[in-house]
Amino acid sequence: MIKRTLYFGNPAYLKTVNEQLVIEMHDGGETKTAPIEDIGLLILDHQQITITQALIAKLLANNTALITCDHTHHPTGMLLNLDGNSLQSMKYQAQVEASLPLKKQLWQQTVSIKIQNQASLLAIQREENKYLLNLVSAVKSGDPDNCVKSGDVDH
C-alpha cells in the first residue's frame, strides 16, 4: 500500500485517538481524522501547529517521517524511527563505517555539485559564472586546499 504524505501549512492541533491522527483546524473549527498506519510522511510548515507527544510516538512507531519547517518554509528537521527502521539503521552504519578515501571522494562530489549549482543559478540570472565553473575542476578529494576555509580567495 502506498503511504500518504500530509502537509500542514495552517494553524492546527494534531493529536491521536484510537490509532487515528486527529486534525483540529484553528481557522474553521473543522476536525478530520486519518489512520496513522496510512501515513508515510508528515510535513509541519506553520509556526502555530501543535502536536502531541503521543501522536509523535505513534507516527514514529509506524515508520512515518516527520519534517518540521521554519518561518521561511524551509525544512529544519526530520524525525525518523531509528529503532524499527532497519534500512535507515543500515544506512547510518554504512556511513559510519565508510573508508576515509570514500568519505573524501563523497565530500569532493558534494562540494563540486554545490559549486556547479551556484554557477547554474548565476547563469540563469545572466551573471558571470566562469570563476565558479573553474573551481569545480579544482576541488580535490577531501578538499584539502579549500580556499574559502583558509581565506585565500583570489578573484
Query: Domain spanning 4-89: which superfamily?
Result: CRISPR-associated endonuclease Cas1, N-terminal domain (3.100.10.20)
| pLDDT band for position 126 (cuts 50, 70, 90) | confident
Average pLDDT estimate for 91-102: 88
**CA–CA gap between residue 42 and residue 69 (Å, rounded):** 11
Residues whose CB falls within 8 Å of the CB of residue 79, separated by 6 or more in sequence, listed in order? 56, 59, 60, 65, 66, 67, 68
Query: Quick one: pLDDT at residue 146?
Result: 66
Structure-model confidence comparison of residues 135 and 58, the more confident one: 58
| pLDDT band for position 65 (cuts 50, 70, 90) | very high
Q: pTM higher than 0.85, yes or no?
A: no
Average pLDDT estimate for 69-90: 83
